[in-house]
Amino acid sequence: MGKVQFLFGIHNHQPVGNFDHVFKKAFNLSYKPFVSVLEQHPLIRTTLHFSGPLLEWMESEETEFFEKIGELAEKKQVEIMSGGFYEPIFSVLREQDVLGQIGMMNDFIRQKFRTTPRGAWIAERVWDPVLPRLICDAGLSYTLLDSTHFLKTGVLPENIRGYYVTEREGKTLAIFPIDVNLRYTIPFEPPEKTTEYLCGFADNTEQDIAVTYGDDGEKFGMWPGTFSWVYEKGWLEAFFKELEKNRDKISMVTFSEYLDSHSSEGLIYLPTLSYEEMMEWALPAEAVMRYEDMLENLTDLQIKDKYSSFISGGYWNNFFVKYPESNNMHKKMLMVSEKFEEWQNSRKGAQDNGLVNSARKELYMGQCNCSYWHGLFGGIYINYLRHAIYEHLINAEKIIDSSSNGDDAWIDYKIVDFKKDRSEDILISGKNLNAFFSPGDGGGLFELDFKPCSFNVLNTMARKMEGYHRKLILENTEPDSPGDSRQPVSIHNMLKVKAEGLQDQLACDWYRRYSFIDHFLGEGTTPEAFFMSRYSEIGNFVNTPYLLENIEKDSSDPKVSFTLKKDGMVLQDDRKMPLSIEKRFSVDDSLMEIQAVYSVKNRGEKDICLWFGVEFNFTLLDSDDSLRYYCFPEHNREKLLINSKRVFSDISFFEINDDRDGFGMKFELTPESDVWMFPLETVSQSEEGLEMTYQGSTLLMHWKISIQQGKQQSRSIKLTFNKFQEENGKNIMEI
């Protein structure tokens, strides 16, 4: 009879931008109690991975615990695993950033815990065949991946054990396959079930066999119902005692120890994959539903287990297709990375490396993976996590720009394929503003950074269909309460709806929620119909290409001006009427303003009456914060929360103020306009279930206009930023 070498790995992570109280909650519910129980069982060996954001928080806020991890590492009870410091998805980074992130983590572990790491945790186990070379070049020798990766190559389930070796360009990497059964039984099934499963390996082999577990530490206390089950009812204590009781059959070693004492199971080459659920989430919503139906059909035919290893879902990078907002963040990150590399190379020989290190750290923080995708939890739907990505990328830009341009006012522009879809975008950058326009997508503004506050005010999210939305028509299944005597349910099997009537709030936007989007509304359009994206659009200007006619930079002022034009049509009386829009943008960095002057020309042979509107989307993050509000001076300086739904008439100017972050925006409308406003909210899934989530606010400034044949009408919108100063603890507008 052989012996089972049980390799027990735990991955702990909190994303960049998460609230301090979430870090504290996770620490108190998961990380601290887990290590407290572990300390009492010195025979239990484990490998721990903490992501960089969590390590930095613990070092600052929980010094005693931080030092305890180092002590356990010195005692060899714990092995500490490396990885990308700020938990990026390696496959979507430039190679030097992969090496830099891993190098940053290696240095941290050596300096703080006095040990040299040998393994790399790969965020979300997103595998790319180039990674063996990069991880090997970073000085590491092993990683963990799901059994799914191995099954897709044809490896039999009974051979998912030990470790395999792969290579790229001759650089080798050991890969330990994570046992999928253990991922679903730990900690959700009684401890005896797991030890019986492990002992079963020993009973059926004459040789030693290694079985790997590797999964999220938040499952031990942070996931719904698990704190009561794992700690109050003693699951973890009982599990460790079971392992100790069965140590004649189960031996616990760290990954490095096993690597040094055992040969591999052989050579393997793995396809580009992640774990099974992630590959499903990466599919478009309609494909998710077909994928789920297929798996259900295979189950009904009792052939799922036989053939599922040959079925794959999507590819992680296609989250950039599924969510254009994610693509914008990613391409911004790549742009800043390239800008950083060019700037760093220009500083060769400079004495002060502090600026370089600061800019690099900000860039790496902007690569944290959680905001770029969505699965069971909020991810990209959590606006403050998206905000953190932009905030750190803008911070990196500011360091580079300040070093390159000094404190003088400046502005520049470039026309590039920013979104990497073979369309040209206009990127205007200055000391105070970044303004990115997409001529090919309605001539809209898709990023607007107020750099003094490192705030992208266009960090919104369009409403889109998700595969789980069809669950809203199913009976709501509540998870077991913490006081329930049964074990908790894995979140993969939960369905919870936080509020009634969510199905009535489902809306799907048919265009991207950019700004300066041009509408021609059909007669009878109501604010509610427009809000739900269920109205009649009689023009073809919203999301179709505009032509860039000219662009120029002012020779005396930090100002860039350009003109976008489109010849289109509107539908009136079942006839297509030719119409053109010319919008002249001026971005003045010194005045911190953007002005759009519209000319709407009737190219037809008869007079027309139109309902013309310009849409502007923005976010100030917190929808019901009293320090973030609209102000309408023409209506008794009425202040409204930014989640307000209102209709105003004859408005010539209004303000949007963020007293918390210290800036405001003033809109001036010429001539005066009617204004509709409403919050942009998605029905999305979080740890607590399906819920309404604030993504931004929408403004529609609109006019009824009559245009004679061959004539045109003009409208103007000017947006000016104001930076508030601190005086006696209060924000005041800077004059």
Q: Which residues are catalytic?
A: 124, 216
Backbone angles phi, psi at 727, to 5 degrees: -145, 115
The count of C-alpha atoms lying within 13 angstroms of the C-alpha of 50, restricted to the half-sphere facing its C-beta, is: 26
How many CB atoms are closer than 10 A to CB 522? 16
- Taking alpha carbons only, the member of 267, 88, 290, 251 closest to residue 174 is 267
The count of C-alpha atoms lying within 13 angstroms of the C-alpha of 169, restricted to the half-sphere facing its C-beta, is: 8
Q: What sign has the CA pseudo-torsion 490, 492, 493, 498?
A: positive
Please name the residue that has the structure tokens 């930023």: 721
> Which residues, listed in sequence order, are joined to residue 682 by a DSSP beta bridge?
693
Structure-block tokens of residue 279: 């590959």
> Which residues, listed in sequence order, are joined to residue 653 by a DSSP beta bridge?
668
Structure-block tokens of residue 232: 């109050």
Q: What sign has the CA pseudo-torsion 118, 121, 127, 130?
A: negative
Distance CA 313, CA 325 (A): 22
Q: Is 706 helix (H, G, I), strand (E, B) or coil?
A: strand
Q: Between β-strands 82-83 and 425-430, what pairing exists: parallel, antiparallel or unpaired? A: unpaired
How many CB atoms are closer than 10 A to CB 670? 14
Distance CA 465, CA 682 (A): 9
CB 122 within 8 A of CB 83: yes
CB 14 within 8 A of CB 23: yes
Spell out the residues 6+ positions from residue 332 whose beta carbon is closer than 8 angstroms to its own. 390, 393, 447
Q: Is 85 helix (H, G, I), strand (E, B) or coil?
A: coil
How many CB atoms are closer than 10 A to CB 524? 9
Residue type (1 letter), 276: E
Which H or E run contains 38? helix 32-39
Structure-block tokens of residue 38: 């572990």
As a three-state string, the secondary structure of 339-361 is HHHHHHHHCCCCCCCHHHHHHHH
Encode 85-99: b = buried (16+ Cβ within 10 Å), e = exposed.
bbbbbbbbbeeebbb
